[in-house]
Amino acid sequence: MKPFVLSAPLIVNWTLSFRCNFACNHCYSRAEDASAELSTAQIKSIMDTLAARKVSFINFGGGEPLLCSDLFELAGYASGLGFKVSMNTNGWLLDETRAALAKNAGFETVGVSIDSHRAEVHDGFRNMPGSFERAVNAVRQLRSNGVRVTMSSVICRINADEFVSLVDMAESLGVEQIFLHNYKCAGMGMTNRDELDLSPPEWREFYIKAMNLKAARSGIRISMDDPITATIKGGDAESPLVKGSTCGKLSLNIRANGDVTPCGFIPVPIGNLLRDDFDSIWRGSDVLGKLRNKEPKAKCLQCKHYADCLGGCSARAYAATGDFESPDPHCWFEPV
Amino acid sequence: MIDRPLRNPAIIWREEDELRDAAMAMLERGEDASGEGVMILLCAGVMHQLNMLGAEIWKRCDGEHTVDAIAAGLAEVFDAEPDEIAADVREFVSDMQRRGWLAE
Ligand code: SF4
């Protein structure tokens, strides 16, 4: 069947606040202005708009969403409108009481960030002593309150050689799905890129191992969600209908002040939901148009995988070169 | 074959109204709309699209409609004979069952 542009995104990632109680080495949002935030009423009104467009998922990210005093009220409102609601948290504030509140608010899943199975490595990466223990405890509290838990791990130099142990740990904690996120060179991720990012051949090696593990494991879902995996035989193929990056095709991002960006890692506002009509942004944005209709450039012109890869991750390409259409800097293809 | 198919509740789906209208208009003009996606389904992280026939069957998989009742409903929408369309419905229901799109 022919590909089509959806009438609205399926997934909205929403940064309610850029405030955070951590200062992680890879964070894309730490440099952002944490002062401008929408009121509870404004957020609910935007949720009404999204519900009318039949958006299916709202995922709260940040910053740390649990620092928002209205988080559970908003999640309850969103789930009442029929959204599948989730969030990503560092887990520090997710104690027994908040786990119960998350359940009552209708959170479908909660993603907890854990980047190493070794406490000292995780704590060092997150610059927060004790954060590993609190994150593991958050997973346990959520599970005992009947909330489905996913785990998010940013793959980089601290864990790429040990990711199997990370998956083992997630499985033993009863986590349903682990997201092995690719390292994004945005925000602090750009500042610390030399120290933390893998080289293109190392990414290739990591993905081959991760895909083999994914095929071998039935107790936990392993997701990589990186368009560049389309270049590996038997690639991740999580969403074969949508090639390349999903931002602006399946998903959209809302920032704390109501600005809309294609994804959290592309800091290019394409409108503001206090001011602009949602459909005009989704259908009319030149930036989204460009992301949906990428043209190959440089080495992508010689690559047989372009139809599936579409130049890889547009956010990484943009961060590294200022051009969405440049080849993904993680790409290992070497033209002859 | 399940007698009264029921959608797997874990699957997220959305009918795309404009695309549906466009496919409907094609049918009315006597054109082939079988290649036109009008509904998206998200199943275990994988997205699929359905054409109008698939979408109309999917919407009726509510655990109440029998396969024959689904075929009768579709015959009205597509202005076809129920017997003609019943074979397509059976085939699609088996396919959905095999893919895990229907509740056990
Ligand atoms: S050269 Fe371009 S299309 Fe080919 S794998 Fe690399 S980023 Fe993807």
Whether residue A101 has its Cβ less than 6 Å from ligand 1: no
In order, the DSSP letters of A65-76 are GGG-TTHHHHHH
Name the residue among A38, A81, A88 with its Cα closest to residue A66: A88
Choose from A5, A7, A12, A55 for mutation: most chain B CBs within 10 A: A7
Six token digits for residue A241: 């209908």
Mean pLDDT of A185-201: 79
* Chain B residue with minimum CA distance to A108: B10
Q: Which domain holds residue B24?
A: 12-99
* pLDDT per residue as tens digits for the range A77-121: 999 999 999 999 999 989 999 999 999 999 999 999 999 999 998
Q: Where are the alpha helices (DSSP H) in A24-147?
A: 40-52, 71-80, 96-104, 119-125, 131-144
- Position B21 in a domain: yes
* pLDDT per residue as tens digits for the range A247-271: 899 999 999 999 999 999 899 999 9
pLDDT attached to residue B3? 84
- Report the distance separating Cα A45 and Cα A58, nearest Å: 14
Name the residue among A310, A178, A186 with its Cα closest to residue A248: A310
Asked whether residue A31 carries a pLDDT value surpassing 60, the answer given is: no
- Tell me the residue ranges of DSSP E strands in chain B: 12-15, 39-43, 46-50
Asked whether residue A310 carries a pLDDT value surpassing 90, the answer given is: yes
How many distinct structural domains can be found in chain B?
1
Q: Would you put residue A12 in left (φ > 0), alpha (ψ -120 to 50) or beta? A: beta
Residue A87 φ then ψ, to 5°: -150, 165
Please give the distance, rounded to the nearest whole angstrom, from the Cα atom of residue A9 to the centre of ligand 1: 25
| DSSP run (H or E) holding A190 | helix A188-191
- 3 state DSSP class of A321: helix
- Position B83 in a domain: yes
Q: Which residues of chain B have pLDDT under 70?
A: none
Q: Using CB atoms, which residue from B12, B14, B35 is nearest to A1? A: B35
Q: What is the dihedral of CA A276, A277, A280, A286, to 10 degrees?
A: 20
Q: Report the gap between the CA of B64 and the closest CA in chain A (Å).
A: 23
* pLDDT per residue as tens digits for the range B23-34: 999 988 989 998
Read off the CATH number of the domain in which B42 is found. 1.10.10
- Position B76 in a domain: yes
As for the ipTM of the complex, it is 0.78
- Position B42 in a domain: yes
Whether residue A203 has its Cβ less than 6 Å from ligand 1: no
Angle at A6 between CA A3 and CA A12, to 5 degrees: 130
Which has more pLDDT, A152 or A33? A152
- Position B104 in a domain: no
- Position B50 in a domain: yes
pLDDT attached to residue A123? 83
Those residues of chain B whose CB sits closer than 8 Å to some CB in chain A are 12, 14, 16-19, 35-37, 40, 42, 44-49, 51
DSSP at A327: P
Whether residue A132 has its Cβ less than 6 Å from ligand 1: no
- 3 state DSSP class of A253: strand
Residues in Cβ contact with B29 at an 8 Å cutoff, skipping those fewer than 6 apart: none
- Position B61 in a domain: yes
Q: Under a CB-based contact definition with an 8 Å cutoff, are residues A168 and A131 in contact?
A: no
Six token digits for residue B21: 């209208």
- 3 state DSSP class of A88: strand
Q: Which amino acid is at A127?
A: N
Scanning the structure block, which residue is given the tokens 């980047």?
A115
- Position B7 in a domain: no
Asked whether residue A27 carries a pLDDT value surpassing 70, the answer given is: no
Tell me the range of A3-12, A23-32, A99-108 where mean pLDDT is highest.
A99-108
